[in-house]
Structure 1
Amino acid sequence: MDALSDVRKRVILITGATGFTGSHACRYFAGLGMQVAAIVRQVKPADHVDGVKYYRCDLRDRARVEELVHAVSPDYVLHLGGKNSVPESWQDPLTYMETNLLFTLYLLNALRPFPSCRILVAGSMTVFPLAPPFRPTHPYGLSKSLQQTAAVSWGLLYKQSVMIAEPANLIGPGPSTGFCALLGRYIAAWEQGKAAQAFQVSSRSAQRDFLDVRDAVKAYGYLLEHGNPGEIYPIRSGRYVSLGEIADLFIEISGSKPPIDWGDSDDWSKAGSQEPPGLQLADWQPAISLRTSLQDILLYYRSQEGGSS
């Protein structure tokens, strides 16, 4: 972001503000001194971040979204709201289409009276090209592919500054449903004698690109300030790590030996190997090591379970 005196005058609207990434985004932008307006469905005391003003709003309520946007008059919008569970998307695909696609368009439509507002939509690595031959992998990926295409197209049609960030698998402290969080939570519970069954993993060799959520949020800030409208930016660590390596590092850090059952699934390895390279900018590079991320995850879940640090 620019000089601090200028930043403090700016307003950023964040959707999904109490989610895993949203809570980190609120802390980061409030820490810069920006005026942070957080859209949430419910405000809980545990979610409160100093310097953030919370607004209750269901994004399906178009009138309320428009009312809120006009009240806030944002300079920036970080759209993190949505659904992101692959298994759940198979059970309730229409809700995923509605939430990830239509709610995004409701928000963009409400922002049309603010042509100078810069908008960053959080996309996904799971998208696929919307051109024949179509190869969707799951309803979640379809919903995100449609979201990204619609958001960029909408920006071009209505001359709005819309950009897309495609983050890697985000990890770090805080409640999350990702692999690293699930394993960290299991280890913390197992240390307290609260996990009777072994942790189940489909494949030891499957590889992922993991990126600390705090690094990702800084990249989002950079793109909101300097990104080019209409562009899609992969946000990556640039390193693929197997799930077996993650488990081994967790065991080394924790000093524990929790039981893990490894499957022999042909789960994808180096998924997205044909992707464009990640964001390569002199003013943003991943700074938090994988070890530090896993340490912080374990500390977080140990604190939740009442264990030692």
Structure 2
Amino acid sequence: MKNANILITGANGFTGRHACRHFHGKGMRITALARNVVDSGAPHVEWKKCDLTDKDQVYAVVRETMPDYVLHLAGRNSVPESWLDPVSYMEANFVSTLYLLDALREIKRDCPILVVGSALGSSLSTNSSALHPYALSKWFQVIASQEWGRFYKQRILIAQPSNLIGPGHSNGICGLLAKAVTDLERGKDVPPFSFTSLLEQRDFLDVRDAVNAYESILFHGVSGEIYQLGSGSVRTLAAALACFQAMTTIKLQIQVKHRPLPFVPEPVDNGKMSAFDWKPMIPFERSLQDMLTFFREQQ
């Protein structure tokens, strides 16, 4: 795979930045797509602006770059925001994926693409209805990707990671907590951190472990398969909060709304990843410590 060109969508995001570093380390040429911000501080990456909800832009960038592989990370991922603007979530997560798949079908059909969905989107396979518009948009994305590959004989692979954590800017609960901790340590005025319930459970997986898995799936995975990725253990938000508290001398102020739990997550089945000899390597506590270190080093 050395010197092959990989196109990474959502490259300026939390996972995208890790993916750019990872695949550059494998000797690949990186074409990074971002909607608005182009990070010129990464000399090993060729950055291109592209709005994936604009069909013409998508076709143009595929025609210009002619990728050997595509890692599709772009999308929107805020559950509260999806309630306020559901149609934009369908456009960002579902319609944009169709544009990308169809551009590859017409221009570079032999190019494998890994579509990164969400474990929240998989809830529709066991529940009768979606929990929120975000989950629905990711479910549409996965179903469309599977069927598109079947229709047009394209090599389309799907990953469904659990909640990703690790160093970098993230809108996940642990990322927001890490930022709040370091702001408090700097003496900033931070409002109490709000939880729906401390009993809510999550499977947390380090983003660096996830990107390692994406490499194996993209290069060796079976078209049409859905590869679930998780840490293998579930923690309450209370346990995550306790870990953060143990890593700082500042007392965290929290607010608990005591609303009913939205759902109890099912254990993530990593079984299909055994074919690649992949397993999570980074402990939860190290992930949190690396997150705090990242924010503590920010100016």
TM-score class, shorter? over 0.9
Q: Which runs of 5+ in 1 are unaligned?
A: 1-6
Per-residue CA deviations over 1:152-181 (Å, capped at 9, x if unaligned) read 101110110001100010001111110001
1:1-309 counterparts in 2 under 5 A?
Answer: 7-45=1-39, 48-112=41-105, 113-128=107-122, 134-268=128-262, 270-273=264-267, 276-277=269-270, 279-281=272-274, 282-304=276-298, 306=299
Q: What amino acid is the match of 1:206?
A: E
Residues 30 and 50 of structure 1 are in contact (CA less than 8 Å); yes or no, is this contact kept in structure 2?
A: no
How high is the TM-score relative to the length of structure 2?
A: 0.93
Q: What amino acid is the match of 2:28?
A: M
Aligned equivalents of 1:129 and 1:264: distance in 2? 23
Per-residue CA deviations over 1:62-82 (Å, capped at 9, x if unaligned) read 222222212211111000111
Alignment CA distance shift 1:221-1:277 (3 Å) = closer
Aligned equivalents of 2:272 and 2:203: distance in 1? 13
Aligned residues: 297
Aligned equivalents of 2:20 and 2:155: distance in 1? 21
Aligned equivalents of 2:12 and 2:22: distance in 1? 13
CA RMSD of superposed structures (Å): 1.9
Runs of 4+ in 1 over 3 A off after TM superposition: 128-134, 275-280
How high is the TM-score relative to the length of structure 1?
A: 0.90
Q: Mean Cα displacement is larger for which, 155-164 or 252-261?
A: 252-261
Alignment CA distance shift 1:299-1:279 (3 Å) = farther
Q: Mean Cα displacement is larger for which, 251-260 or 122-131?
A: 122-131
Cα displacement (A) at 1:213:
0.5
Cα displacement (A) at 1:265:
2.6
Aligned equivalents of 1:240 and 1:152: distance in 2? 28
Residues 114 and 156 of structure 2 are in contact (CA less than 8 Å); yes or no, is this contact kept in structure 1?
A: yes
Give the 3-state SS of the residue equivalent to 1:111 in structure 2: helix
Q: Percent identity?
A: 45
